[in-house]
Amino acid sequence: MLDFTGVFAAWPSFLTGLGLTIVLTLFSCSLGTLLGIGSAWVRVYACGPLRIAVAWYVEFFRNTPFIVQIFFIYFGLPATGLKLASFPAAIVALTINLGAYACEIIRAGIQATPRGQLEAAQSLGLNRWHTFTRVILPPALSRVWPAMISQLVIIMLATAICSLISTEELSYAANLVASQTFLRFESYIAVTALYLLLSICFRHFLQWLGPRWLFGCAPTGGPR
């Protein structure tokens, strides 16, 4: 018979882990999206050498396991003299990984921009910065936002891997409670339910956030 008494008694550990998971998610998703936007701009508009460098970055991080990337940053970089604590190492790994995927998603949106919009921006005398940030980027994000939401949720779930470098997020808390109470099945049921709830809430938050703050207002006649 399942016994959740010990699991419920350990709610402070789960709450602490949940809080750190949310912090990891917010930092890495914000920074990774910005990195993806910058990388997409380079891939579309920059000169040859810089474009090639970003292309290599994207291919490398999209075609290697995330666990290898985070191990390299946390365990490998100290050999070069650069040692990061577990939390900043997790932020760096998540950000760089998301940036590579977001680059290709956002690049697809940018390249789908109608030629007429660019010509209209040029006729209004907008410089390259204003053209990109006001004419190209908002509609591009609007086109690819469903794909971006999926990728951001994946990154939120990938925070669980950060427990392997002793980042005390939600899965770390579940492992700790399981080892202390010996209620392993119950502990992992509880953490699964928390991840499911967090994913649903995060997805709805992103669906609300995009049209209101990133690429214009949502229509008032009903849900998007």
Domains and CATH numbers, the chain: 5-214 (1.10.3720.10)
> Mean pLDDT for each 10-residue chunk of the chain (224 residues)?
88 96 98 97 92 97 97 96 96 98 97 88 87 92 96 98 96 95 94 97 96 65 39
For residue 210, give the amino acid letter: G
Report the C-alpha gap between 106 and 59 in whole angstroms.
15
CA dist list (Å): 168 to 20, 39, 157, 219, 221: 7, 30, 14, 41, 43
pLDDT of residue 42: 96
pLDDT of residue 223: 40
Residues 6+ apart with CB under 8 A from 9: none
pLDDT of residue 220: 36
Report the C-alpha gap between 224 and 214 in whole angstroms.
15
pLDDT of residue 111: 94
Report the C-alpha gap between 90 and 212 in whole angstroms.
29
- Locate 174 and state its tokens: 């579940």
pLDDT of residue 221: 38
pLDDT of residue 140: 94
End-to-end CA separation in angstroms for the chain: 44
Report the C-alpha gap between 16 and 177 in whole angstroms.
12
CA dist list (Å): 29 to 25, 91, 96, 132, 210: 6, 9, 10, 21, 13
CB 43 within 8 A of CB 54: yes
